[in-house]
Amino acid sequence: MPTIAEFEGIRVMMYYRDHLPPHFHVECGGEEAELAIATLDILAGSLPMVVLRKVREWAAIRQAALALNWVKCQSHIQPDKV
């Protein structure tokens, strides 16, 4: 699973050919969650509120890049660092 970003102890990843809806995975301090790219809602897992806020702020300005990486991963193409 490619890591597409790391910041403030937060790791953001995408799986190749993952299930819908388009989403990304986040790991931080032993917690894990999946967030929808379009809405930034948590689809699975949980994160501390302070981490979730940081991830949403980070992702909100990178949604187009995240969506493009989703398409690349669906085609088993290496995604870009975001």
For the segment 30-78, what is each residue's pLDDT rounded down to a tens digit? 999 999 999 999 999 999 999 999 999 999 999 999 999 999 999 999 9
Looking at residue 15, what is its pLDDT?
A: 94
Q: Find the domain containing 28 and state its range.
A: 1-48
Q: Which of 43, 82, 40, 81 is nearest to 57 (CA)?
A: 40
6-31: per-residue pLDDT in tens? 999 999 999 999 999 999 999 999 99
Using DSSP, state whether 70 is helix, strand or coil.
helix
**CA-to-CA dists, residue 46 to 3, 42, 43, 58, 73, angstroms:** 19, 7, 9, 17, 23
Looking at residue 1, what is its pLDDT?
A: 77
Strand order in the sheet with 31-36: 3-7, 10-13, 23-28, 31-36, 42-45
Query: Does the residue 7 lie in any domain?
Result: yes
Query: Does the residue 25 lie in any domain?
Result: yes
Task: Count structural domains, the chain.
Answer: 1
Query: Does the residue 69 lie in any domain?
Result: no
